Amino acid sequence: MTADERRDIEADCARLIALYANLNDAADWQGVAALYAPDGRMARPTAPDDWVEGRDAILAAFLARPARVTRHICSNVVIDVLSATEAVGESAMLLFTGDSAPKVGSFHDRFVLGAAGWRFAERRGSLTFQGS
């Protein structure tokens, strides 16, 4: 793999992280779910050991969420390319909601390349600081 190919994968995966935050803040749950591989899984930062598995189940979990106004800020994104079709990443997250103090956490991601492009195979959140 060339250095340019590696950087392209890193950029594509980093874009998924940013797009996830923006779609989440827009409450575009169809868009958020579409960022996962069909058999992808997620664990929210508030429940890092409670996996939701499969794109349909992920969509259902987001649709069941009470409406709220949020703004996610993602930074410190580091993507490690494992192969031409797999990568892992870590990012820091700051979440603002209209009704509580900000939360600080991180995401640990696994990415896979499929027919639709790069998607989350796994997205696991965790909280470092949780406001009251």
- We report the CATH number of the domain holding residue 96 as 3.10.450.50
Report pTM: 0.92
Return the C-alpha torsion angle 21, 26, 28, 32, nearest 10.
Answer: 0
* Residue pLDDT, tens place only, 5-36: 999 999 999 999 999 999 999 999 999 999 99
Q: Which structural domain range is residue 39 located in?
A: 3-130
Q: Which residues pair with 112 in a beta bridge?
A: 86, 119
List, for residues 43-91, the tens digit of each pLDDT value. Answer: 999 899 999 999 999 999 999 998 889 999 999 999 999 999 999 999 9
CA-based end-to-end distance of the chain: 47
Domain total in the chain? 1
